[in-house]
Amino acid sequence: MAADPESNGRILLVDDDPMVRRVGERMIGLLHFDVTTAAGGEEALERFREAPGAFRLVLMDLSMPGMSGQDAWRRMREIHPGVKVLFVSGYSEAEGLTELEREEVGFVQKPYRLDDLRKKLSEILDD
C-alpha cells in the first residue's frame, strides 16, 4: 500500500491488547501518520529490524507478556540508537524506567485521548 502523500511519517504501534491497537491505529491515522502494528515486544523487534529507519517513532506499551516494552526499546536502541519512543501504560507514570531513561522517552497514561496523543507526539517529534 502506498504511503499517504500528506503523511507525517510512520509509527510502530505496539500493544498486546487488540482493542487498544485498533483504537490507537485509528487515532494515529487521524493525526496523519501511517501505522505498523505489533502485538508484543518480539513482534515489534521483528518489524523494527526489517526497516529501522522507516519509523519516526515507536508507540509502545510498557507492560506486555513476554518481552516488555522497556526491553524491546533497549534492543531497538542497539539497532538504531536514535529511535524515538512514546511509552504508554495503565500503571503509574513510567514505572520501571531509570531516571536517565525517563529523560530519553515520552510517556502517556492509558487510557489516552486524541489530544493527549497529539501533544506528546508533537513534543517528541518536534524536539
List pLDDT tens digits, range 53-70: 999 999 999 889 999 998
Cell numbers of 42, please?
518480539
H-state helical runs in the chain: 18-30, 41-50, 69-79, 99-104, 114-125
Q: Which of 53, 113, 45, 108 lies closest to 82 in space, CA to CA?
A: 53
Mean pLDDT, to the nearest integer, of 104-117? 88
DSSP H or E run through 37: strand 34-38
Tell me the mean pLDDT in the region 119-123. 93
Contact 22, 48 (CB under 8 A): no
Rounded to an integer, the average pLDDT of 107-112 is 87
Query: Domains along the chain?
Result: 10-125 (3.40.50.2300)
In this predicted model, which residue has the larger pLDDT, 102 or 15?
15
Mean pLDDT of the chain: 88
Q: Could you tell me the pLDDT band of residue 1, with boundaries at 50, 70 and 90?
A: very low
Compute CA 104 distance to the chain's CA centroid, rounded to the nearest angstrom. Answer: 13
Q: 47 pLDDT exceeds 80?
A: yes
At 46, the pLDDT band (50, 70, 90 cuts) reads: very high
pTM more than 0.75: yes
- At 84 the pLDDT is 93
